[in-house]
Amino acid sequence: MKIKKLKPLLIKIFKKHGLNADHATISTNALINAELVGAFGHGLSRLKMYCDRLNKNVINPKPKIKIKKISQSISHIDANNSIGFVAADIGIKQAIKNAKKTGIGLVAVKCSGHYGLSGYYAEQAVKKNLITMIYTNAPPAVAPHGSLKSLFGTNPICFGTPSGSKIPFILDTSISMINRGKIRVAARNNKKIPHGVALDKFGRPTIDAKKALAGVQLPIAGFRGSGLAWMVDILSGVLTGGNHAGKVKDPFDDFSGPQNIGHLFITFKANLFQKNYQQRIKENIKIIKRLPKVKGVSEIKYPGQNKYKRFKENSKKEINIPKIIKKDLEILLN
């Protein structure tokens, strides 16, 4: 479907489910962006879930979002269980405003929901010549190191910076070795999963996808990745007033209440300390790209390059909508 046809359709659906025009547009843009960068797990496949949660009022369609000013640099947002896209959009915009004014912005958000891709918000800050760090937690998916039970979310770590070129440097990385969707696909096709990404229900390493589904996913790099996931849970949950320690509900399965996810946005001017920051980062990237390469590697890419390329290519094409999602669209429109 052409983007310009899909966009009003999605806006209509969100409005039908109670969002105002502004919030419907923000949510639509985020979903379409996810499709264009190829992050389908954050795109249209979630539309029905969002609408179901709006229907059941575990996402508040008419939130009263409060922005509390703590200082010129620091703000605290209570998103009143709004759809995550809107809370995050307000969060990053406030963080940008604060950094533009004082050099640095720190914005904590509580009572939010799943907001899609951290990198999408990071891009907004980077376009304003800011460096940004973004943290959010998520429903249990990964076992803390030494544990037999999932508790941490895939808790992404996101870092963005201007790159001295039009393609921003955006690292947006999960701390999980593998995502659950991939294990599900492997189980369905009777395929093995890689070594070291999951444990069975007894806590033994397994490459059997079915056994992994009954067990837990592992964090990257053992104790270190587990520590990073814990850090994200603290920064986005404990600090902000959001849920933490495994209490964020799965948006697909648990309609017993709002998610109360927390987010943290840190922003600061890239040229705070060096006027020629853009030149310096450009030089940094150039030197790394010139290193001798492992056989089969044609280019050393910085984080965000692949996503940018996919976005550019896909923006020229129609968006491919699988049958199951077409059906969702029809139902949600009626």
Nearest distance, CB of residue 274 and a copy of itself, angstroms: 5
Residue carrying the six token digits 């600090």:
239
What is the C-alpha to C-alpha distance for residues 97 and 95, in angstroms, rounded to an integer? 5
Q: How many residues bind a copy of itself (CB under 8 A)?
A: 75
Site for a copy of itself, residues 263 to 282, rule: CB under 8 A: 266, 268, 270, 272-274, 277, 280-281
Total Cβ atoms within 10 A of residue 22: 10
When binding is defined by CB under 8 A, the residue of 4, 146, 166, 330 that contacts a copy of itself is 146
Report the phi/psi class of residue 155: left, alpha or beta, with left for phi > 0 and alpha for psi in -120 to 50: left
Stretch of 5-13, 53-61, 139-147, 321-329 contacting a copy of itself, by CB under 8 A: 139-147
What is the C-alpha to C-alpha distance for residues 304 and 307, in angstroms, rounded to an integer? 5
When binding is defined by CB under 8 A, the residue of 180, 184, 246, 325 that contacts a copy of itself is 246
When binding is defined by CB under 8 A, the residue of 113, 119, 139, 144 that contacts a copy of itself is 144
Are 168 and 308 in contact by the 8 Å Cβ rule? The answer is: yes
Site for a copy of itself, residues 178 to 207, rule: CB under 8 A: 199, 202-203
When binding is defined by CB under 8 A, the residue of 80, 103, 129, 182 that contacts a copy of itself is 103
**Residue 135 is a binding residue for a copy of itself (CB under 8 A):** no
> Which residue from 207, 46, 29 is spatially nearest to 120, judged by alpha carbons?
29
When binding is defined by CB under 8 A, the residue of 63, 84, 113, 225 that contacts a copy of itself is 225
**Residue 319 carries which DSSP code?**
P
When binding is defined by CB under 8 A, the residue of 56, 149, 188, 327 that contacts a copy of itself is 149
Residue 56 CB contacts under 8 Å (≥ 6 apart), including other chains? 255
What is the C-alpha to C-alpha distance for residues 58 and 83, in angstroms, rounded to an integer? 9
Are 240 and 263 in contact by the 8 Å Cβ rule? The answer is: yes
Are 3 and 26 in contact by the 8 Å Cβ rule? The answer is: no
Amino acid at 34: A
Residue 30 CB contacts under 8 Å (≥ 6 apart), including other chains? 85, 89, 115, 116, 117, 120
When binding is defined by CB under 8 A, the residue of 2, 4, 189, 294 that contacts a copy of itself is 294
Nearest distance, CB of residue 230 and a copy of itself, angstroms: 7
Nearest distance, CB of residue 49 and a copy of itself, angstroms: 26
What binding mask, one character per residue, do residues 72-91 give for a copy of itself by CB under 8 A, x or -?
-xx-x---------------
Which residue's CB is nearer to a copy of itself, number 18 or number 103?
103
Stretch of 86-94, 115-123, 253-261, 296-304 contacting a copy of itself, by CB under 8 A: 296-304
What binding mask, one character per residue, do residues 226-245 give for a copy of itself by CB under 8 A, x or -?
-xx-xx-xxx-xxxxx--xx
Q: Length of the chain in residues, anyone?
A: 334
> Which residue from 126, 137, 143 is spatially nearest to 281, judged by alpha carbons?
126
